[in-house]
Amino acid sequence: MNRIEQKLKENKKILSIYFSAGYPNLNDTVQIIQDLEKNGVDMIEIGLPFSDPLADGPTIQESSTTALHNGMTTQTLFDQLSSIRESVKIPLIIMGYFNPMLQYGIEAFCKKCAEIGIDGLIIPDLPVDVYAEKYKPTFEKYGLINVFLITPQTSDERIHFIDSVSNGFIYMVSSASVTGSQTGFGDTQADYFKRIANMNLKNPQVIGFGINNAETFNQATQYAKGAIIGSAFIQDLTKNGTAKISEFVKAIR
């Protein structure tokens, strides 16, 4: 069983952390992953930097740009992670845009992910229809879970379709805005969270966008299996480097 599926079966709320590989410094990637696991994070999303990250807010865009300037590439990330499974046991997901994966070669990319122990991918600009028609067999061949995003604007019909072709979890975007643009959840988000929870989907949901502290983490996980923190963690890395990761995680739960 894939590590993501194993983790989701645990009787706990999942805390997933996102960061841009190669930020704040090119060679910080492995240490950040190890420190996050050591401090109780359940799952990690490793951002593959891209020059045109449409769904990302200013914080993640800036970290991605810095990582690219630092010299991060797809191959560099694979090299950095080549022995990651010697020290890290929790699920690891690469989150990135489709173009760099296409340039690398989809089968080659998936094969490399499998070799180094990546459990899944999140590709915001790969439509679920295209994935189902063209790429699903390749992902499954290498044991990779492909995670899809839904928003408050996603129709029930499309949500059910995404659920039908998914394994692992569904990434539930808390609003239609870009990452890092919220400070909390109001009634509109709560109603959306309840609506999805009442759909009784086969895949659990993990909520992202707008999770930045213990309060928003607890709000989100009332209705979902877990929550993802990205921009707030990157802001902490910008301020403190890798020195205060333990304090950041302990402040969430």
Whether 215 is a known active-site residue: answer: no
What is the rounded CA–CA span in Å between residue 16 and residue 119? 14
Q: Which two three-digit tokens encode residue 51?
A: 């020059």
Beta strands (DSSP E) in the chain are: 14-20, 43-47, 92-95, 120-122, 145-147, 149-150, 170-173, 205-208, 226-229
Query: Which residues have C-beta within 8 Å of that of residue 239, sequence separation ≥ 6?
Result: none
Q: Which residue has the tokens 């489709």?
A: 98
Please enumerate in sequence order all residues whose Cβ is within 8 A of that of 144, keeping only pairs 6 or more positions apart, or say none. Answer: 110, 113, 114, 118, 119, 120, 121
Which is catalytic among the residues 28, 37, 42, 45? Answer: 45
42 is written with which tokens? Answer: 């359940």
Residue type, 197: A
SS3 149: strand
Q: Which residues contact 209 (CB under 8 A, 6 or more apart)?
A: 173, 174, 175, 177, 178, 179, 180, 181, 182
Among 28, 35, 42, 56, the active-site one is: 56
Q: Is the peptide bond before 24 cis (omega within 30 degrees of 0)?
A: yes
Q: By the 8 A CB rule, do 242 and 191 touch? A: no
Q: At 231, which helix (H) or strand (E)?
A: helix 231-240
* Active-site residue flag, 45: yes
- Please list the active-site residues: 45, 56
